[in-house]
Structure 1
């Protein structure tokens, strides 16, 4: 019997026939390229892959992938995705959402999908602004952000996606940058490998309404010193010459940046990244320039014994086994009463 080997798929095989339409220079183009590259490296089965989005610029994603997709309503993508995964656990379900979509009207839905630990890959595009509705400030916008809705500057303390995820009980949280085309696919593959809810925050530039908001740690001239690429089991070193590192500040639970060979500091003083340490993940998520680098990569990964849909399937099977099997018998089972 002749067995035909399926052809190897390339990134182009995961692109749909739809014209990609975002503003020229939008970071979404780079993320789309990284996702298509990731799917090709995974040789994902298009007929078993689903992308579900809410509302916003990022929500156009399902149109541009040759997989199944669902463009849902504002903030509700996690709820729809939960239903899809529970109905057919064999599907590989991805959620695409912006910072406004996910952390404002969708905050409650995101919280519950994380704490339930549904096996989804959730991609949170963070550009710190509402782009589709013309540049209003978003939940992640920094204090002082001037926008049509905050002409004198935002007064709100911004939401930290990392702090939110860890507080909600997420078992996987990672970060990357739209333009880091080597790093981002590796993070996406780690998210898919994780069994349970995986939240990946992607720092994404909005060239029209918030251009350069992340330039303080993404520009080539400063990136090496302003960001740290985490690797499990490796010392937390950064800088052009990898001569800077992180250690616990003396006498308190806080991180500080130090330079090797200064004040007697050696590599033995540098912390080793343990992605299963939730407390350390919280400290890493809170870091920001100029005093500390932005942490990228997998900040936290500690899988639960079972994902939500697997637990639900087990409960359903047990209930079916214990059931009398016939609807009439089930309806007449237990206490009954007669109304005269």
Structure 2
């Protein structure tokens, strides 16, 4: 960021006087606290920070952050975010959306903010259900999900947000979950990335889709099913007893056992956040046979859209003196002398 003078804040400085109104036990509470704990560590300035949301349970977020905020319209938060960054590239902008808001009505807008690579942090809360509108299945709901609109079970094949992001040209893709102690580190990595940083956060909807992520995201007991990725580190899980290796025959990944901590002998791969092909494989691994890939999956920066636009505007202004009167008089013009004549 340009002109982002470090300031000292605490979690309390980011809390508002608004009553936080989510259902008791909702995972959104944990995500809110994770963000409020992380911002002081980033030396973020509330006066230069903006949270933007669309419509949905997650979209209450700006009300609960002591910063600037916009609660916009369904699926259109990316358009507002793009305008904010173009108007003032120095602002630190976070976009909060959900699997319905960002992957259904807003899917087109999400695609374009990613391919343009606008310098913002995009947090997509994925609870695999429409919570605000009382439990209909969403674009990410699993096959067989029973809901008011699918009483016999959904037959839709679910969208995969991280695969969608990669396919849209995202240069940063990460995953976390609501109650994870590692979520602040994922948020820090997203903030450090210059360009559109896409973070999918699995979030427990305690009313309409309770504990759907417990196999890998339960507060306790699911650690063995979590593959926390770190650039340059071996892809190990289950307390280092298992890892991911290349399956050369099938051009994919496979789970291997690791004996006595010798991951190299087991053929475990080292994670490379700049390897786009590897990122595609990791986000599409079927859970069950494989662990859930979490952390920073892909991080390969390129120039951000708003920075490139600012450079183009600066070049266009070189050697020119602003003159609004000359601009208005350019081309065909008419002069009205102001002396009204009575009609004959």
Is 2:234–2:263's contact at 8 Å kept on the other side of the alignment?
no
Which ranges of structure 2 fall in alignment gaps of 5 or more residues?
1-5, 334-344
SS in structure 1 of the partner of residue 188 of structure 2: helix
Distance 1:47 1:62 in 2: 14
Residues 124-144 of structure 1, C-alpha deviation per residue, up to 9 Å, x if partnerless? 000000000000000000111
Distance 2:35 2:129 in 1: 22
Q: Aligned pairs, how many?
A: 328
Distance 1:44 1:316 in 2: 27
Shift of 1:266: 4.8
Distance 2:193 2:80 in 1: 20
Shift of 1:10: 1.2
Shift of 1:222: 4.7
Higher radius of gyration, 1 or 2: 2
Aligned to 1:76: 76
SS in structure 1 of the partner of residue 255 of structure 2: strand
Is 1:176–1:201's contact at 8 Å kept on the other side of the alignment?
yes
Does 2:97 correspond to 1:100? Answer: no
Shift of 1:160: 0.5
SS in structure 1 of the partner of residue 36 of structure 2: helix
Aligned to 1:234: 233
Is 2:95–2:121's contact at 8 Å kept on the other side of the alignment?
yes
Residues 4-48 of structure 1, C-alpha deviation per residue, up to 9 Å, x if partnerless? xx9842111110111111000000000000000001211210000
Is 2:165–2:198's contact at 8 Å kept on the other side of the alignment?
yes
Aligned to 1:223: 222
Aligned to 2:188: 189
Aligned to 1:65: 65
Q: Given the alignment, which residue of 299, 310, 322 partners 1:313? A: 310
SS in structure 2 of the partner of residue 97 of structure 1: strand
Is 2:179–2:219's contact at 8 Å kept on the other side of the alignment?
no
Map 1:86-165 onto structure 2 (within 5 A). Answer: 86-165=86-165
Distance 1:290 1:87 in 2: 46
Distance 1:37 1:265 in 2: 35
Say which is worse superposed, 246-255 or 212-221, in terms of deviation: 212-221
Shift of 1:326: 3.7
Distance 1:22 1:58 in 2: 9
Which ranges of structure 1 fall in alignment gaps of 5 or more residues?
1-5
Residues 135-170 of structure 1, C-alpha deviation per residue, up to 9 Å, x if partnerless? 000000011111111111111111111110000000
Residues 78-103 of structure 1, C-alpha deviation per residue, up to 9 Å, x if partnerless? 11011001100010000000100000
What TM-score comes out, normalization by structure 1 length? 0.91
Shift of 1:288: 3.1
Shift of 1:185: 0.5
Shift of 1:314: 1.2
Is 1:16–1:63's contact at 8 Å kept on the other side of the alignment?
yes
Shift of 1:265: 7.6
Map 1:1-340 onto structure 2 (within 5 A). Answer: 8-180=8-180, 182-219=181-218, 222-240=221-239, 242-261=240-259, 266-267=264-265, 269-304=267-302, 306-321=303-318, 325-327=322-324
Distance 1:283 1:238 in 2: 17
SS in structure 1 of the partner of residue 183 of structure 2: helix
